[in-house]
Amino acid sequence: MIADNLLKIEQDIQDSCALVHRNPKEVTLVAVTKSVDSDKAEELIKAGVNNCAENRVDKLLQKKQDLQNHPDIKWHLIGNLQRRKVKLIVNEIDYFHALDSLRLAEEIQKRAEKQLACFVEVNVSGEESKQGISPDELLPFLESLASLTKIKVVGLMTMAPKDASADQIRKVFGTLKELRDLVQKKELPHAPCTELSMGMSQDFQLAIEEGATFIRVGTALFKDEEEQ
């Protein structure tokens, strides 16, 4: 049951926070609904979730429309965004988690009616297949965004490497936190960079221990449904 899965995850969040003396209120559960239909997503909303994420523009727009009787939901786009789709989505979402190029940022600047909360995606693990800015390029990239008034860099986002050990994953998350702290110290007006979007079903507990403030959880919320 979805409601039971949610309860368990909320308990896990509390346990991980307790382990490192963090306040669970600092951690926002973003429910990734990409693998389920709108009815299942609504079940989750009724159970108390108020942040939903999709990784594709068309799917997010569809779900948002299907769930328009829940206007308080915050919508997160977590997947990579093609420039030609920016105009369709940019005024429909509350957060964008995968900003990784200046050209994309410029398109957002052109199309957004108000400032958009963005996470810059960082490829901490350095895997070739991964999206994201390399850690070396992060500060110059952030500086290049300074004149784009519609972009507010609220934080950094990363994905842990696949099939990595807990230690390796922890290291990736820890590095993202160090980068976040470094950026925060710069006190860039357009990049307060207080947040860390990291951790998915397999590794959100590690992510919380390493400082995550937004965790993006899909499979673990819908487990039994998928096994049926």
Task: Determine which residue in the list 10, 34, 152, 170 makes contact with ligand PLP, applying CB under 6 A.
Answer: 34
Pick 150 or 216: Cβ nearer ligand PLP: 216
Closest of 138, 147, 158, 156 to residue 195, by C-alpha: 156
Looking at beta carbons only, is 78 or 86 nearer to ligand PLP? 78
Check residue 201 for interaction with ligand PLP (CB under 6 A). Answer: yes
User: Which one, of 122, 121, 96, lies nearest residue 109 by Cα?
Assistant: 96
CB 109 within 8 A of CB 148: yes
Q: Tell me if 155 contacts ligand PLP by CB under 6 A.
A: no
- Under rule CB under 6 A, residue 161 binds ligand PLP: no
Q: Provide the strand spans (E) within 122-163.
A: 151-157
Size of the site for ligand PLP (CB under 6 A): 13
Alpha-carbon gap, residue 210 to 123, rounded angstroms? 17
- Between strands 195-197 and 151-157, the pairing is parallel
Question: With 0-12 CB in 10 A as exposed, 13-18 as middle and 19+ as buried, what is 123?
Answer: buried
Nearer to ligand PLP, 141 or 204 (CB): 204
Q: Least distance from C-beta 53 to ligand PLP, angstroms?
A: 7
Closest CA to 126 of 152, 99, 95, 164: 164
Residue 151 is a binding residue for ligand PLP (CB under 6 A)? no
Tell me, residue by residue from 39 to 78, as one string, x for binding to ligand PLP by CB under 6 A and - for no binding: ----------------x----------------------x
Which residues would be at the binding site for ligand PLP (CB under 6 A)?
32, 34, 55, 78-79, 200-202, 216-220
